[in-house]
Amino acid sequence: MNNALFYNQNQLRDYSSLFTRAGVQAWLKKDFTAVNYKIERYDRNWQSSADSTYLDYLKHVYHVLEMHYQNEYIFKNSFLNEWLIKDIGKSDSKVFSEFRIGKSVADLVMFNGVSQVFEIKTKLDSDHRLALQIENYRKVFNQIFLIVPEAKLSLYSKYDDGVGIISFQCCRGHNFTLRRKAYTNLEVDADTIMNILHTHEYKEIVQCFYGKLPEMTSFNQFNICKKLIKQMPNQVLNQSFINMMKRRDMKKVYSHRYHKEFNQLSLALKLNQFQQKSLIENLRTPLKA
């Protein structure tokens, strides 16, 4: 039996609206209004089970989406769980979601020995902005990867052969396969990096390289530090940038087994261990009868 017959596109799109920043922020307040609406509309049978919790129901919805719907959240979360977390657990790697570079926003980036950017393209996405995205990413990242459906490999293979390609199988567990390795580019753009760094970060890079900070004020420190950073050897700047990004934010907590459905949301919202624990405890609330 093909279970996909039980789910039309409108229902699947409606399900996908649960896994959003706003959704998590509501769950942290024990506000399950949106979830109750989905249950009432599509899954009234869940209300009859006295043992069911919101956590059980959301895991069920996630599984349905994983099998039947081209949703960006599912792909990002699947790639995080199946690919990136393996590296995160073995090193001091740092992963960011929705990382802004100029006018582009990268889906996922990782800093370890090198800087890597991962751009996800589902079958619903267009490639009309991809050339500009790649141009922006190359200014900052050592390696660029496209994550694309197997059915669109021929389309995306035409792009710069220095860009790595990872394919995924749509609606079949989203297995990821490296199809083309990425060229490692160590030449980064100082101007672009300066617009990513926080004030204390670029001042620390200057101090570490030159041994001290020059005289400056809050009004001219950016321009003074930018001039000095642009004079640094490029490979030194590249490594300094990577090291600084790896020190950003508190340590993220990822679930490798029990609640991995929510890892991407935890990453996007920068939830710490206490917040993630509170989220799961709230979701263990019994479904509203």
Q: How far is CA 139 from the centre of its chain?
A: 19
Q: Where in the chain is the domain with CATH 3.40.1350.10?
A: 74-180
- Distance, in Å, from the CA atom of 75 to the CA atom of 169, rounded to the nearest integer, reads 10
Over the stretch 91-141, which tens digit does the pLDDT of each residue have?
Answer: 678 889 889 998 889 999 999 889 999 999 887 777 888 888 999 999 999
At 164, the amino acid letter reads G
Instruction: Give which of 65, 83, 260, 266 is closest to 168, Cα–Cα.
Output: 83
For residue 230, pLDDT beyond 90: yes
Separation between Cα atoms, residue 181 and residue 179, nearest integer Å: 7
User: What would the mean pLDDT of 200-216 be, rounded to a whole number?
Assistant: 96
For residue 89, pLDDT beyond 60: no
The DSSP bridge pattern shows strands 115-120 and 143-149 to be: parallel
Q: How does the average pLDDT of the chain come out, rounded?
A: 88
SS3 117: strand
Is the pLDDT score of 55 beyond 50? yes
Residue 54: CB atoms within 10 A of its CB come to 21
CATH code of the domain made up of 74-180:
3.40.1350.10
**HSE, side-chain direction, 13 A CA sphere, residue 282:** 17
